[in-house]
Amino acid sequence: MPDARVQTAITHWKPRFVANGVVLADFEEITEGLQSYDDWCAAWSARATHHEQLGREALARGHRLTAGECLQRAGVYYHFASFLFVHDLPQMKAAHMKGVACRQAALAHLRPPGERVEIPYEGRTLPGILRKPSGIDKPPVVIMALGLDSTKEEGDAYEAPFLARGMATLIFEGPGQGEAQYDLAIRGDYEVPAAAVIDYVQQRRDLDGARIGMWGVSLGGYYAPRAAAFDKRIRACIALGGPFDWGAAWDGLPDLTREAFRVRSHCKTQEEARAAARSLSLEGVAHKISCPLFIVNGRRDRIVPAADAERLAREAKGPVTLMLIEDGNHIATNRAYRWRSQSADWMKEQLR
Which residues are annotated as catalytic? 218
Phi-psi domain of 122 (left: phi exceeds 0; alpha: psi -120 through 50; beta: other): left
Amino acid at 318: G
Nearest-angstrom CA–CA distance, 328 and 326: 6
E strands, the chain, are 114-121, 124-131, 141-145, 168-172, 212-217, 234-240, 293-298, 320-325
Residues in the chain: 352
Strand order in the sheet with 168-172: 114-121, 124-131, 168-172, 141-145, 212-217, 234-240, 293-298, 320-325
Q: What is the DSSP letter of 138?
A: S
320-325 vs 141-145, strand pairing mode: unpaired
Backbone angles phi, psi at 240, to 5 degrees: -110, 110
Helix (H) or strand (E) holding 96: helix 89-107
Nearest-angstrom CA–CA distance, 145 and 225: 10
Closest CA to 129 of 107, 148, 160: 107
